[in-house]
């Protein structure tokens, strides 16, 4: 009976991890995981590469039975004494939820000077965006974001969930991971189309810090087009609005645009780096009004958020960092789908564009022309 109730069989992102990433975007300096020492350890360590300290109350078997209230109070006070953070986060875990820990009581008892964002969460939610939402609600309560930004983020979260359920990694019961097509073969095809005088749209529709690598594909395509003397045949779309998003997200857009400097012209800004789930509507309007006769599109980041009707008649080359996204994109009609493996670990803690495998392949093949 239990098997019949399963809707998604493969592992899904965790709400606890999503809450941690949101605390980082809210410029929290220290996040305390209230649970066992191994909970979310991989992402906790990765996030420390991005400037946020993640510590744990390290609950053991005794804590599972008798509770961890005193340990959390001690940890809150120790964090303030040792790091003097301007902003602290406390994130619940499955263990703290099961034993009924009240994070707020511990925070009140610790009586800290710094504001504390409390996130009562566990990993049992089907949508990991719950962790983001809970963190934002707490940030709203302590006055770190205003109501307008909270409602904007809430709308984006709903749209992101819809995209994943319709076209993404939550769209099927089980998705076989895949490395996608061979980058060398697809790069040859892109160069072949450029040499034939075909016109292409390069769309950067990336999620937050992942844009540091996906933006390299925009840069590489521009370099190759210049080398072949067809730079006027390429237009660039990018969700790099520097006025939208939480502070750290806006900063990513500023860094990437500064890195592109005079070498790449972004013809159309299609939203902020947190607007990847809704940027597709703007892409559709732009193509219908200005670029209907283009021959191909290179889409990097979250290609499945771009509506297919906007891309009708174009040959599609899509680049994702999700091995489970390959088959859904192929099913949608994307002819070529590539995966940038290990993209996320390489884009944490950076402030410059990071070279992608597909970008490097394009550059190398152009040199051989």
pLDDT of 132: 95
Q: Please state the pTM of the whole predicted model.
A: 0.92
Contact 90, 72 (CB under 8 A): yes
Helix (H) or strand (E) holding 91: strand 88-91
Answer whether 357's CB lies under 8 Å from 342's CB. no
Contact 91, 119 (CB under 8 A): yes
pLDDT in tens, the chain (369 residues): 444 555 778 878 899 999 999 999 999 999 999 999 999 999 999 999 888 999 999 999 999 999 999 999 999 999 999 999 999 999 999 999 999 999 999 999 999 999 999 999 999 988 889 999 999 999 999 999 999 999 999 999 999 999 999 988 888 888 899 999 999 999 999 999 999 999 999 999 999 999 999 999 999 999 999 999 999 999 999 999 999 999 899 999 999 999 998 889 999 999 999 999 999 999 999 999 999 999 999 999 999 999 999 999 999 999 999 999 999 999 999 999 999 999 999 999 999 999 999 999 999 999 987
The span from the CA of 202 to the CA of 234, in Å, is 7
Asked if 20 and 50 touch (Cβ cutoff 8 Å), the reply is no
pLDDT of residue 1: 42
**Domains parsed from the chain with CATH numbers:** 13-144 (3.40.50.1980), 181-366 (3.40.50)
The reported pLDDT for the residue numbered 169 is 81
> Residue 11 has what pLDDT?
79
Q: What is the structure's pLDDT at 2?
A: 45
Q: How close are the terminal C-alpha atoms of the chain, in Å?
A: 60
Structure-token pair, residue 136:
């934002």
The confidence score (pLDDT) of residue 3 equals 46
Q: How far apart are CA 250 and CA 179, in angstroms?
A: 31
Looking only at Cα atoms, what is the longest distance across the chain?
71
What DSSP string runs through 164-199? HHHHSTTSSS------BS-HHHHHHHHHHHHHTT--
Look at residue 211 and give its three-state secondary structure.
helix
Task: State the Cα–Cα distance between residues 231 and 249, nearest whole angstrom.
Answer: 30
Indicate if the alpha-carbon torsion angle 148, 54, 87, 353 is positive or negative. negative
DSSP assignment of 219-234: HHHHHHHHHHT-GGGE
């Amino acid at each position: 009976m239990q098997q019949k109730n399963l809707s998604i069989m493969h592992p899904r992102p965790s709400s606890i991890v999503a809450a941690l990433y949101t605390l980082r975007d809210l410029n929290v300096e220290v996040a305390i995981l209230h649970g066992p020492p191994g909970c979310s350890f991989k992402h906790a360590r990765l996030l420390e590469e991005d400037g946020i300290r993640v510590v744990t109350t390290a609950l053991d078997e005794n804590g599972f039975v008798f509770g961890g209230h005193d340990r959390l109070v001690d940890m809150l006070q120790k964090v303030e004494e040792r790091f003097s953070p301007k902003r602290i986060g406390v994130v619940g875990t499955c263990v703290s939820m099961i034993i009924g820990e009240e994070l707020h009581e511990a925070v009140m008892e610790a009586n800290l000077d710094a504001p504390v964002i409390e996130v009562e969460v566990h990993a049992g939610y089907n949508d990991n965006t719950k962790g983001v939402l809970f963190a934002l609600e707490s940030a709203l309560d302590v006055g770190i974001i205003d109501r307008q930004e909270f409602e904007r983020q809430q709308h984006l979260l709903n749209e992101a969930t819809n995209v994943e359920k319709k076209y993404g990694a939550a769209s099927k019961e089980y998705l076989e991971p895949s490395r996608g097509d061979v980058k060398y073969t697809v790069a040859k095809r892109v160069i072949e189309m450029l040499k034939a005088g075909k016109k292409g749209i390069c769309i950067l529709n990336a999620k937050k810090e992942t844009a540091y690598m996906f933006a390299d594909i925009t840069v590489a395509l521009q370099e190759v087009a210049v080398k072949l003397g067809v730079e006027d045949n390429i237009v660039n779309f990018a969700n790099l609005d520097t006025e939208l998003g939480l502070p750290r997200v806006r900063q990513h857009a500023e860094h990437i645009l500064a890195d592109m400097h005079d070498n790449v012209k972004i013809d159309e800004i299609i939203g902020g780096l947190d607007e990847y789930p809704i940027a597709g509507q703007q892409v559709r309007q732009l193509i219908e009004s200005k670029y209907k006769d283009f021959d191909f599109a290179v889409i990097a980041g979250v290609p499945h958020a771009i509506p297919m009707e906007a891309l009708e008649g174009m040959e599609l080359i899509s680049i994702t960092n999700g091995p489970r996204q390959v088959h859904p994109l192929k099913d949608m009609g994307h002819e070529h789908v590539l995966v940038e493996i290990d993209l996320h670990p390489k884009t944490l803690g950076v402030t410059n564009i990071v070279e992608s495998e597909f970008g490097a392949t394009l550059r190398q093949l152009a040199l051989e022309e």
